[in-house]
Amino acid sequence: MRYSFLLAVLLFFTSPVFAQPSAAKVQADLKKDFGANCLSVSVLGNGSTSTDYVNGGYSTFYRVPVNIKLKTELPGVTKLAKGAAKYGYSGGNSYMYNSYSPGTTEYIGLPAPDTAQIRALILSMADYGMTQSSLIDVLSFKFFANPPPVWHSLNSVSITAEAIELYGLSSTQLVTYRTPYAIRVYRENATSPWTSVAWTNNYSTLDTRRKEQIAEEKISAYKMSKFTNLTQKAAIKEAEKQATLRPKVEIPAVKNIMDVMKWYHGLLMEGDYAKLEAITLQLFHPDKFDKTTKLLDVNAAIILANIKKAIANDFSTYNLQNCTNPPIESKSDTQIAWWNKNKSKATTITIKNEDNRWYIDNVQVSIWDFYSEAMAKECMAAKCK
């Protein structure tokens, strides 16, 4: 640390002072660099010197902030590049043009985007494209014509906006805010519809708006527990979408735990995860789902992930390590376990019987994975009786 500090001090006091390029030279250098597409160059002020580590050594550079106006292929549309002209020491107490350091770009002259289309995109998303975990809902939002939209590219534009938002700040506190935003939307190409949106707080010297609390309400913890936040709403919508894509399956009537085992083991041997997922979700006990959102809880999601890993992996699957008619390891009225081929691992299923129907309470599918390659090969090679 002391060495680095001394080196920095040494460089600061020993950095040579070179003749800085004039505004006219900066303009001439950039016009030459950008060629016929360059319409004009504006030098925005004095530059700054920095010492950069380049190719194993320290070099001194001088950067001048500039705006460059460029032609585009679109009639009446220009491109504004905001960056810096970079100069390196050339010897003889002077700087020589090195390159253009890009910053941001925007297109000037494009028409304002259709905000009705952007509104429709936002409203089509269950979470409005937002990600704040404490945000319960967006009560309303609006766009502003001024300042005008900024086109970052032909496929991306930012619009000044604000939203009225409802937050749950504690188990009993609802707060409403008026929040300023810059909404940036994206699309695949200049003629395709808008496909995604990002909300950003644009607090700066150019946008002095600030988040403002406009209401507060105290409610009971019970009422608060009934709210779903935007993240949950998006997850619910996605879960509903996935449910429509799953195959339709029928659940057979079973008389006892042996019937459950034979049927479910047959599905595992079949190896169709989409079918098995649909069946398992239908049969999961209600306590495997959140009472408010109806989303699968973490433990149940882990059960499904382990099942998928066992029957759909690319190393050694369940049906290679188990027999069609496996030997029973243990059995009760609500739980049964059965051995794999060489009785080195057992798979277990636990059920619940309620309201004249049965549910799956737990499934533990056990196979040897690639971390135990020798055991897996031994199990697969074993003969079924």
What does the pLDDT read at residue 209? Answer: 86
pLDDT one-digit tens code per residue, 29-64: 999 999 999 999 999 988 888 888 888 888 888 999
Within this chain, do residues 36 and 67 fall inside the same structural domain, yes or no? yes
Say if 233 falls within a structural domain: no
Within this chain, do residues 210 and 312 fall inside the same structural domain, yes or no? no
What does the pLDDT read at residue 384? Answer: 93
Within this chain, do residues 183 and 208 fall inside the same structural domain, yes or no? yes
pLDDT higher than 80, residue 171: yes
Within this chain, do residues 121 and 96 fall inside the same structural domain, yes or no? no
CA angle, residues 220, 293, 365, in degrees to nearest 5: 130
Among 93-97, 137-141, 272-276, name the one with the lowest average pLDDT. Answer: 93-97
For 96-126, b/e burial (b = at least 16 CB within 10 A) is ebbebeeeebbbeebeebebeebeebbeeeb
pLDDT one-digit tens code per residue, 328-365: 999 999 999 999 999 999 999 999 988 888 899 999 99
Mean pLDDT on 76-99: 88
For residue 202, the cross-strand partners are none
Within this chain, do residues 73 and 158 fall inside the same structural domain, yes or no? no
What does the pLDDT read at residue 92? Answer: 65
Record the tokens describing residue 97, joined without a space.
């043009």
What does the pLDDT read at residue 143? Answer: 96
Residues 6+ apart with CB under 8 A from 315: 369, 370, 376
Within this chain, do residues 76 and 91 fall inside the same structural domain, yes or no? yes
Q: What percent of the chain has pLDDT over 90?
A: 66
Please tell me the distance from the alpha carbon of residue 304 to that of residue 301, in angstroms, as a whole number: 5
Position 236 confidence tier, pLDDT thresholds 50, 70, 90: confident
Say if 250 falls within a structural domain: no
From the number of C-beta atoms within 10 Å of its C-beta (0-12, 13-18, 19+), residue 267 rates as middle
Mean pLDDT on 97-125: 94
Please tell me the distance from the alpha carbon of residue 80 to that of residue 149, in angstroms, as a whole number: 14
Within this chain, do residues 10 and 96 fall inside the same structural domain, yes or no? yes
Q: Residue 203: count other Cβ atoms within 10 Å of its Cβ.
A: 13
Decide which of 50, 74, 108 is a domain's last residue: 108
Position 18 confidence tier, pLDDT thresholds 50, 70, 90: low
Say if 278 falls within a structural domain: yes
Number of domains in the chain: 3
Decide which of 53, 80, 108 is a domain's last residue: 108
pLDDT higher than 60, residue 3: no
Say if 17 falls within a structural domain: yes
3-state secondary structure 156-222: EEEEEEEEEEEEECCCCEEEEEEEEEEEEEEECCCCCCEEEEEEECCCCCCCCCCCEEEEEEECCHH
Q: What percent of the chain has pLDDT over 70?
A: 94
What does the pLDDT read at residue 140? Answer: 96
Q: Which amino acid is at 256?
A: N
Please tell me the distance from the alpha carbon of residue 344 to that of residue 366, in angstroms, as a whole number: 10
Say if 237 falls within a structural domain: no
Mean pLDDT on 368-382: 96
Within this chain, do residues 45 and 74 fall inside the same structural domain, yes or no? yes
pLDDT one-digit tens code per residue, 312-338: 999 999 999 999 999 999 999 999 999
State phi, psi for 140 to the nearest 5 degrees: -165, 165
Say if 246 falls within a structural domain: no
Mean pLDDT on 239-264: 85
Within this chain, do residues 267 and 349 fall inside the same structural domain, yes or no? yes
Range of the domain at 89: 2-108
Within this chain, do residues 84 and 148 fall inside the same structural domain, yes or no? no
Say if 90 falls within a structural domain: yes
Please tell me the distance from the alpha carbon of residue 350 to that of residue 274, in angstroms, as a whole number: 21
Position 290 confidence tier, pLDDT thresholds 50, 70, 90: confident
Say if 193 falls within a structural domain: yes
Within this chain, do residues 77 and 133 fall inside the same structural domain, yes or no? no
What does the pLDDT read at residue 10? Answer: 43
What does the pLDDT read at residue 5? Answer: 47
Give the residue among 130, 132, 157 at the shortest CA–CA distance from 143.
157
